[in-house]
Amino acid sequence: MKNPVFTGAGVAIITPMYEDGSINFDELGRIIEDQIAHHTDAIIICGTTGECSTMTDEEQLAAIKYTVDVVNHRVPVIAGAGSNDTDHGCALAAKSAECGADALLMVTPYYNKTSQAGLVAHFTAMAEAGGIPVIMYNVPSRTGLNIAPETALELSKHPLINGIKEASGNISQVAKIAQLCGDELNIYSGNDDQVVPLLALGGKGVISVVSNVKPELVHNCCKAFFDGDTAKARELQLEMLPLADALFCEVNPIPVKYAMNVLGWEAGECRLPLVEPSEAHKEYIEKALRAEGLITE
């Protein structure tokens, strides 16, 4: 049995930036403190939501090290360290581990993709380079590549491959992974609209975008489920849906960064090629924030 890296709601945290596009570390620290104060169960830094794809390695490692230092062991820190170049991913994994991350989040190869056998080789090499627990990230809508349940089973045999962030949206696939892997692979939802369904299949939590704007909502949803109050968990999952819909009305993290700015954080803009949401989507996002009581004027 592999102990999960965390249980509950981990925030896929944004990376706040100044007007010139450089990382605003002071604001990142403030956001981290707010997240911990509102019961976030883990910090996932430099994931998709954190815009790792437009960061240099130096920036990414600086953000990871800063987060590790600020968090100071209060909750687990999971560092995004994947790549579609296995050698590059191995180097990033090793350096992220040196920064003090508790675990690594590794996406499947994108664009060049690979076979299922290639996935086994890819994740195995990167896990061994990092030397700390790995959560694989399955998001076919972005990568064009799916981790088959049988491949998840093969990878779950590796002692360092601890979990999978499942963002395929395919509940049947998640059920198959749970059935094949059992306690050897911890499953996390990669979709805020599917937290409770995945928990019901034995999942350990969620890596959440919604947690950026309302961490206690997502934490409480998971906690209610683990406490056996499935009716409360269902209620909070349904409460979460309008926020989840609004925060994915355009490509993540465009909406959530806009939402954080609206809520008074100095999130800044996304780096190109991501741009501001349309005016209609800005109104939609603000309406969802207002309905959830996050905007009160």
Distance CA 145, CA 199 (A): 24
Asked if residues 185 and 176 have their Cβ atoms less than 8 Å apart, the reply is no
Give the CA angle between residues 176, 5, 15 to the nearest 5°: 105
Burial of 227 (0-12, 13-18, 19+ CB in 10 A): exposed
Does residue 197 have a cis peptide bond before it, meaning omega lies within 30 degrees of 0? no
Active site residues: 137, 165
Task: Give the residue numbers of the binding site for pyruvate.
Answer: 49, 207
Q: Which of 108, 25, 20, 110 is nearest to 70 (CA)?
A: 25
Show the DSSP H helices in the chain as ranges. Answer: 25-37, 57-71, 86-98, 116-130, 140-143, 149-156, 171-181, 195-200, 215-226, 230-247, 254-262, 279-291
Buried b vs exposed e over 154-193: b needs ≥16 C-beta within 10 Å? bbbebebbbbbbbbbebeebbbbbbebbeebbbbbbbbbb
Please report, in range form, the residues annotated as the binding site.
49, 207
Contact 15, 32 (CB under 8 A): no
